[in-house]
Amino acid sequence: MIIDEHLLILVLALLLDRIMGDPDWLWQRLPHPVVLFGKAISFFDRHFNVRDLPGMARRRNGVMSIIALLFGAVIAGSAVHGLLAFFGWFGILVEAGLVAIFLAQKSLADHVGEVSKALRSEGLDGGRRAVSRIVGRDPETLDEPGVCRAAIESLAENFSDGVVAPALWYAVFGLPGLFVYKMLNTADSMIGHKSETYIDFGWAAARLDDVANWPAARLSILLIAAGALAKKGLSALGNTIRVAVRDGGLHRSPNSGRPEAAMAGALDIQLAGPRVYGGEVVREPMINGSGRDIATVNDVDSGISIFYSACTMLTLVAFAAFLLLL
């Protein structure tokens, strides 16, 4: 399939995901593809991440494991695409539905929106419960502005690796590229930690995930800037770009700081800074330190609005690219 067909399918998938999201009724009956990826990763983790092995041996096993997993993802993506190619336009529609499964526009906005709703209706305790479903930090350590910042940071970061990156990998490489990206991203979330158990075995997965997300993180800046322009005007556009360029590298992740800094500039609030994970304080500089230091529920709602505008811009860019290639 040539790239213009990828772009057409991507546009259909983005529209479908925007409308339908992640249907719970479907995944109550069928295993989600990411769950299957997770089971494959767990298999390699159980059999090759042996505690008694020295660090270099575990790192070698981790490298070989992720190579095998990514090779399997390429084979699976190619096989599924090859099968669907026999069915013409029906196959294209089915592939669009499959691609939509790996996107997270509506589901991400819904989860972050639940934090806003909980804060308004149930107060701080409700907001903490809602935000604990989307972030890993200790919710008990968060006051209301902290809950709001956590929700906004999750929204911005996951825009890059939950929407832009899978869209980009599919647009360029089709289903094999999308499967590779989601396998790698799932592996990073499962084994790409700096804990004693995974610092060696998950080293390759974490490094490759950083590489895979590099282009999308930078593209996310432009998309969030376009969303800020649509919702808040020209000054927000300038602030988004300025803060993203200046503070995007302050985050410990080489990629997550880019969309977070862009969103911080768009909303003119401070993000990141010291946070608590598992009782341990992670100290990082504040992104957009000159912005407002109190994030509010209204900022969460504004962030969702900018996020949706950025998603719309991504769809329009894909459609424009399709028309140009056509």
Domains of the chain, residue spans: 1-325
- CA 211-216-219 angle, 5° bins: 135
Give mean pLDDT, residues 309-315. 97
pLDDT of residue 281: 66
What is the percent of the chain with per-residue pLDDT over 90, rounded to a whole number?
Answer: 79
What are 218-267's pLDDT values in tens digits? 999 999 999 999 999 999 999 999 999 999 988 888 899 999 999 999 99
Predicted local distance difference test score (pLDDT) of residue 49: 92
215: number of Cβ within 10 Å:
16
pLDDT at 1 exceeding the cut of 60: no
- Res 280: pLDDT: 66
Rounded to whole angstroms, the Cα distance separating 267 from 153 reads 12
Question: Measured between alpha carbons, how far is residue 281 from residues 138, 146, 229, 275 in Å?
Answer: 10, 14, 35, 6
Summarize the confidence of residues 11-33 as an average pLDDT. 88
What is the average per-residue pLDDT within 32-37?
92
The stretch 96-103 carries a mean pLDDT of: 96
Whole-angstrom distance, CA of residue 195 vs CA of residue 58: 13
Q: Over the range 245-265, which residues count as b (16 or more CB within 10 Å of their CB) and which as e?
A: eebbebbebebbbbbbbbbbb
Structure tokens at 81: 């695409």
Average pLDDT, the chain: 92
CB atoms within 10 A of CB 322: 19
Q: Residue 25: pLDDT above 90? A: no
Per-residue pLDDT band at 210 (split at 50, 70, 90) = very high
What's the pLDDT score for residue 278? 62
Strand, coil or helix: 269? strand
pLDDT reading at 309 higher than 70: yes
Does residue 101 register a pLDDT over 90? yes
Which SS3 state, helix, strand or coil, does residue 282 take? Answer: strand
Contact 320, 171 (CB under 8 A): no
Q: What is the pTM of this model?
A: 0.93
For residue 277, pLDDT over 70 is answered with: no
Task: Read off the pLDDT of each residue in 128-157 and give the average, rounded to a whole number.
Answer: 90
pLDDT given for residue 3 in this prediction:
73
> What's the confidence (pLDDT) of residue 279?
60
Distances 107 to 18, 22, 38, 43, 85 between C-alpha atoms, Å: 9, 6, 20, 28, 29
| pLDDT for residue 2 | 72
Report pLDDT for 274: 72
The percentage of the chain sitting over the pLDDT mark of 70, rounded to a whole number, equals 97
Q: Say how far apart CA 101 and CA 9 lie, in whole Å.
A: 13
